[in-house]
Structure 1
Amino acid sequence: MKNNLETILAHYGEERDKHNGAIVPPIYQNTLFAFESWDHIDEAFSDPINNNIYTRGNNPSVSIVEKKLAKIAGGEKARLFSSGMAAISSAIMSCVKANCHIITLKNIYGPAMNFLDNYLRTKFNIDVTFVSGESVEEIENAIRENTTLIYLESPSSAIFSMQNLKAIADLAKKHNIKTIVDNTWATPIFQKPLELGIDLEVHSCSKYLGGHSDIIAGVIIGSAKDIDSIYQNEFLLFGAKMAPFEAWLLMRSLRTLPMRMEKHQSNALKVANFLENHPKIKSVNYPGLKSHPQFELGKEQMKGYSGLMSFVIDSDELSDIKNFVNALEHFSIGVSWGGHESLIHAPAISYLKEMTPEQFKSTGLSLGVMRVSIGLEHVDDLIEDLTGALNNIK
C-alpha cells in the first residue's frame, strides 16, 4: 500500500506491537543492550549495522526516525547525526581522499565552506573550485581527472540560487563523481534530490524537520550501500551520534511537518510579495516569486517553497540598517531558521567572521542583506511589524 507523507510521518516504522502498543514509542535512554546468551550477542556482532548493541551505533528511538526520513526522501536508508555540520562533514569525508578535487558553490553555508576550503585544503591537500552553480556547463568545465565530489545547496544560502539537480547528477555519473545536496531549505516535502539522481542528501534537522527550535541534529539520506559505508566509517569513527531524546523530539516534530511547511510557504509568499513592492527594499531573493530569475527551474524540481528568504535594504547607512532591525517586535534577532518563530539575521555579521573578505565578496552579499525566516505567526502581524520597522529607514 502506498501511503501519503502525512500517514508515513504519523505511523511508518513505529511497530507498536514491539513497544507494548504505545501510541508514542518510548525513549530508549540507555547506552547498551544486554543479550540472553553468548550466541545471541555473537550473532548481533556479525551484523552490527542492523542490531542494537551500543547506542553510539544504533538505538531504537533513533532508528524509527531514520526510517521515516529515508521513506519520505525516497532513499533506502538514513543516518542521524548530532548536528547538521556533523552530517555535512561526514557526508563530504565519505566522498573524498587526499589530493582530490571538489566542486562546490560560492555561496554555501559558511561552516561548510570553511570545512571545504580551509580544513580539507590544509589537512589533506584537497583543492576546491567554487562556481555559481547556475550553469551546468560551468560545472562541467571545472571537472578534473581527480574530481571526486560535487557539493551543492539548492536553493543556496543567503541568495537562494538554484542548481539543475538532475542535469548535474547525470553529468557527475558520467565522470564517476559523487554528488551531495544540502536539502535543508526545501525539505523532502518540497524537493526530492535523490529521485533526481543525487547520491546523498543532507539536512540540518535543527531547521524545518525539527521545527521548534529545540533540537540540534543532522541527517544523511541515500542508498543502503552508501549509508552503510558511512555508518562503518565516518559515523562510528567520528562518534557524532544522535541522542535518543533528541530523536524522540524529532519524531514528534515530523508528525506535523507537511502542515507546517504549507503554513511557512503561505506566510512567506505574502511577505515576499509585500517586500518586493516596498519602496525601501531594493530586491527580494525568494524562489517562490515569479520575478526570481530561476523561477521556472524551481517549479520543475520543487513542489513548493519554504519560509526562508533574503532582501536588500535600500540604504548603505549602518545606522539605518540597525534601526530597522532593532525596531522589529515579532521578528527575533538570531541565527538558525526553520522554527515556529520568525527570525531576522544579517548574514554579513557571521559570514565576515567565518570567511575571508575575499570569500565574502564572492558570495555577492553586502551589509544591507537581511535574511528572514518566516514563522507560523499570523502573516498580517508580520507584515505590520515589517512596515513599522521600515519606517525607521530615512
Structure 2
Amino acid sequence: MDDLSADLSYIINHLGEDRSQFLNAAAPPIYQSVMFAFQTVAEMRHTIQHESELPFYTRGHNPTTDILRQKMAALEKAEDALIFSSGVAAISAALLANLKAGDHVVAVQKPYSWTNRLLTEWMPRFGISVTQVDGQDIAQYEAAIRPNTRILYAESPNSWTFEQQDLRALAQLAKKHQLLTVVDNSYATPLLQNPIEMGIDIVCHSATKYIAGHSDAVAGVACGTKAMMQQIFNAEYMTMGGVASPFNSWLLLRGLRTLPLRMERVAKTTPEIVRFLEAHPAVAEVYYPYSPNNPQYELAKSQMKQPAGQFSIRLKADQMEQVEAFCNHLKRFLLAVSWGSYESLIFPACVLYDSENYQGSVLPWDMIRFYIGLEEPESLLDDLRQALDAVWPQ
C-alpha cells in the first residue's frame, strides 16, 4: 500500500478517534447532549473562551461532530473544517461571513439551484451585487471583476451540465486581485479533487451526497484555514445556527468508512453506462466530465483523480410526454433528487416546470440527470435498453 492510501485509510478509520476517551468503543459514541457541565467557574470560563474547540453548547462544539471536522479537514488538505446542517448552509455561511453591503461577487453560471437563489435573490436584498459568468472561460471572471469585488465563486463541476472551472487559474486570478475564492466540491468529493491544493481558499460540500452515502442524513461542510473557519464560526455559524446534529455527524462518520470503496465502484460503472448512452440513437447529447467526447475532458483529468457517478443526457424527444414515458419505464433507477448513495437515480428536468421554487429554470425539458449507484452495470444497462426501446422502438 502506498503512502497516500495509508494516509487515507488512517484518516477515515482512526483520525480524531481517541478511543480511550470513550471506553475503547470501536465506533465513536453519539454525544446527544445540548450542553456540557463543569466542575468550577474557572473551567466553564476557559471553555466558553475556546468554544470552537471545546464542548460548551452543542450549537458551537460537539465531540461527535468534532471527529468529523478533523476527518473532513484532513481529506480536503485543509487546516480546519466546520459541519453544517446542509450544503447550502455551508455555502451561505462561507459567503456571508466574508461579505458586507456594497460588496460584489463574481459567480459561475448555473450553480446549484438554492445557491443560485442565494446569489440572485437574497444577496441583492442586503446590498451585495452578483455577476454570473461562464466559468469555463477564466477571462470572463477577470472581465467581471470590479473595485468592490470580494469573492470569486465556483462550482466545479456543476450539478446538471457539469461545466468545470480551471481551479488553478481561478486561484491565480484571485491572488492577483487579492480576492477570496470559494468552490463547491460536492460533485468530486475530497477523494477525487482537492481545490485547496490548487490554491482555493474555501471548499464547501453538500455532505448529504457522497460523504453520507446512505440517503439518510442532510449535512454540509466548509473547509479552509483555521483563521477562516474561526471567522465563520464566530459569525454566521453561531449566529445563524445552521449546524449539524450529533446524530447526523455520526451518520456521516459511518458513511466515510466506505467512501473510497463506493467511489471506486462508481468510477468503474459510470463510464460504461455513459458509453452505452453516447452510442444510442435516441440520445442527443451526454454531459459527463470524464467522457473523451467532453470538450473539457483534459481539464477533468488534470483536476480530478478518477470519474464520479453523475451525468446528464438530452433525449431526441419531440414532446415532454416521451421523456416522461422513458422515465416511467425505468425499473432500476429511482425517480429522486440528490446523488451519492447506494441507489441509482434519475432526475428529469421536466419536473421543474411549473414548480414555484424552480421557476425560471434554464434547463431544457428533454434533459435527465443520472446518478449511478452500486448496482451491477449489466442490470442498469438492461433497464435502460428496455425503457429506450419502449419509447423509441428500433
Superposed displacement of residue 34, structure 1:
0.7
Is contact 1:158–1:347 with CA below 8 Å preserved after alignment? no
CA distance in structure 1 between the aligned counterparts of 2:254 and 2:73, rounded to whole angstroms: 16
* Matches of 2:358 and 2:169, distance apart in 1: 30
More relative contact order in 1 or in 2 (CA 8 Å, sep 6+)? 1
Matches for 1:44-193 after TM superposition, within 5 Å? 44-121=47-124, 123-193=125-195
2:43 corresponds to 1:40: yes
Query: Root-mean-square deviation (CA), in Å?
Result: 1.3
Alignment match, 1:368: 366
Identity %: 39
Moved runs in structure 1, 4+ residues, more than 6 A? none
Closer, same or farther: CA 348–224 of 1 in aligned 2, 3 Å: farther
Contact 2:343 2:374 in 1 (8 A): yes
Within 5 Å, which residues of 2 pair with 1:242-391?
Answer: 242-350=244-352, 353=355, 354-357=357-360, 360-361=361-362, 365-391=363-389
Q: Is the 8 A contact 2:352 2:359 kept in 1?
A: no
Deviations 1:191-244 (A, max 9, x none): 000110111000011100011000000010011010011011000000111111
Aligned-partner residue type, residue 222 of structure 1: G
Q: Deviations over 1:77-97 (max 9, x none)?
A: 000001111111111111211
**TM-score of the pair, normalised by structure 1:** 0.96
1:392 match: secondary structure = helix
Gaps (5+ residues) in structure 1? none
Separation (CA, whole Å) in 2 of partners of 1:248 and 1:340: 18
Secondary structure of 1:212's match? coil
User: Is 1:8 the counterpart of 2:11 in the alignment?
Assistant: yes
2:10 partner amino acid: T
Q: Which moved more, 1:239-248 or 1:341-350?
A: 341-350
Report the secondary structure of 2:369's partner residue.
strand
How far off is 1:157 after superposition? Answer: 2.1
How far off its partner does 1:351 sit?
7.1
Is the contact made by 2:196 and 2:203 (CA closer than 8 Å) also made in structure 1? yes
Partners of 1:221 and 1:227 within 8 A in 2: yes
Query: For residues 102 and 95 of structure 1, what CA distance do their matches in structure 2 show?
Result: 10
Question: In the alignment, what sits opposite 1:235?
Answer: 237
Give the alignment of 1:181-220 within 5 angstroms. Answer: 181-220=183-222
Describe the shift of the 1:37–1:78 C-alpha distance in structure 2 as closer, same or farther (beyond 3 A): same
CA spacing shift, 1:352–1:267, aligned 2, 3 Å:
farther
Q: How does 1:216-227 map to 2 (within 5 A)?
A: 216-227=218-229
The answer to whether the Cα contact below 8 Å between 2:320 and 2:350 also exists between their aligned partners in 1 is no
- Which string of whole-angstrom CA distances, capped at 9 and with x for unpartnered residues, describes residues 96-141 of structure 1? 11121111122110110011101111x2122211111011111111
Q: Is the 8 A contact 1:343 1:373 kept in 2?
A: yes
- SS of alignment partner, residue 79 of structure 1: strand
Relative to structure 1, is the Cα distance of residues 65 and 45 closer, same or farther in structure 2, using a 3 angstrom cutoff? same
2:25 to 12, 22, 26: 22
Confirm or deny: 8 A CA contact 1:337 1:343 kept in the other structure.
yes
TM-score, reference length from structure 2: 0.96
Please list the CA deviations of residues 136-194 of structure 1 after superposition, one character each: whole Å capped at 9, or x if unmatched.
11111110001111111001121101100011011111112111110000000000001
SS, match of residue 185 in structure 1: coil
- Distance in 2, Cα, partners of 1:348 & 1:185: 22
Separation of aligned partners in 2, 1:41 and 1:4: 36
State the aligned residue count: 388
Give me the whole-angstrom Cα distance separating, in 1, the residues matched to 2:260 and 2:273. Answer: 20
Residue type matched to 2:76 in 1?
A: A
Residue 346 of structure 1: how far off its partner (Å) = 1.4
Question: What CA distance in whole angstroms lies between the structure 2 residues aligned with 1:267 and 1:25?
Answer: 33
Following superposition, the deviation at residue 356 of structure 1 comes to 4.8
1:338 alignment partner AA: G
